[in-house]
Amino acid sequence: MLIDPYSKGINRPVIWNKSLYEENSPFFIPKSTLKSPDFDWQGVTKPKTPREETILYETHVKGFTQLNELVPEENRGTYLGLCDPNVIKHIKSLGVTSVQLMPVFSYMSEPRLEDLELTNYWGYNPINFFAPDPRYAKHNAVVEFKTLVRTFHENGLEVILDVVYNHTAEAGKDGAVLSFRGLAEFDFYLMTYDDYCLDYANYTGCGNTVNCDSDFSLRMIMDSLRYWLTEMQVDGFRFDLAATMGRNGERFNRKSALFKAIAQDPIVGQCKLIAEPWDIGPEGYQLGNFPLIGMNVTINIATVFASFGTVRKA
């Protein structure tokens, strides 16, 4: 069984379980949920804060409210907790215009971390580019994420997503087959020859590298970006390891197919775009070499601060 890469919602978090995986158990892979996309935006529209007036605040959906006693206990650590009136009041008091959320795509902690009783708390290990992670939801991740966005917009705050399109939780050649590997392995992932053997290119340090130059990956990433901008109504993106997204094979190209696709797109090309300008591949540091796209973008910016690491399971 595989996770549908276009699934807009899954019924539970993706949690590694070696025994269930090796048994090919149907209980290992979460199931896609089919629900109506209807949502009442109540006439609320995007703030569209000018680039030169944008002040970003980066945070984590769970971490920001998990221990916050001003938030009702049942909402702490969730999408609904992050849009609690007390939280909104605090964020606005800081004078920021835009909140950048660390990854909300459905993800799976690395098996190695699970064996060590650790977890990838920050979520930088996606397995789906459309479904918001149910870890941060009480009942319905899609509806509750939309509620977060609507509430932020009501208060003049933009929502920027930290997105990981450079690798997935399927890791390297010995990794798990969860979704993309079982459908389009040699189109979706960048391959290289190591000692005359075909292997996964690992320009991300995470075992695999998404081949953003392939038709399959290019279409999926663009569909994902448009989905989050239109259906979920976010305001822009911060691309994790954005140098990977500009690679044509081994080398970085500021005129790559993906960058051209973004530039010509009437929706994606007009939102706020932020590039983390490196990966660990050849010529991996590309600060200043990303193209300027559209009229209202913030691309070419190195991340000033981000928290990465692992934490003990609670």
Q: Which two structure tokens, joined as six digits, stand for 10?
A: 């899954």
pLDDT of residue 294: 58
3-state secondary structure of 132: strand
pLDDT of residue 196: 67
Tell me the pLDDT tens digit for each residue of 170-228.
Answer: 999 899 999 999 999 999 999 987 766 789 999 999 999 999 999 999 999 999 999 99
d(Cα 25, Cα 151) in Å, to the nearest integer?
Answer: 40
Report percent pLDDT > 90 for the chain.
87
Tell me the pLDDT tens digit for each residue of 41-95.
Answer: 999 999 999 999 999 999 999 999 999 999 999 999 999 999 999 999 999 999 9
Q: Is pLDDT above 50 for 306?
A: no
Domains located in the chain, CATH noted: 18-312 (3.20.20.80)
194 CB contacts (<8 Å, ≥6 apart)? Answer: none
**Catalytic residue numbers, as ranges:** 240, 276
d(Cα 233, Cα 296) in Å, to the nearest integer?
Answer: 16
Name the pLDDT band for 298 (thresholds 50, 70, 90).
very low
Mean predicted lDDT score pLDDT of the chain = 91
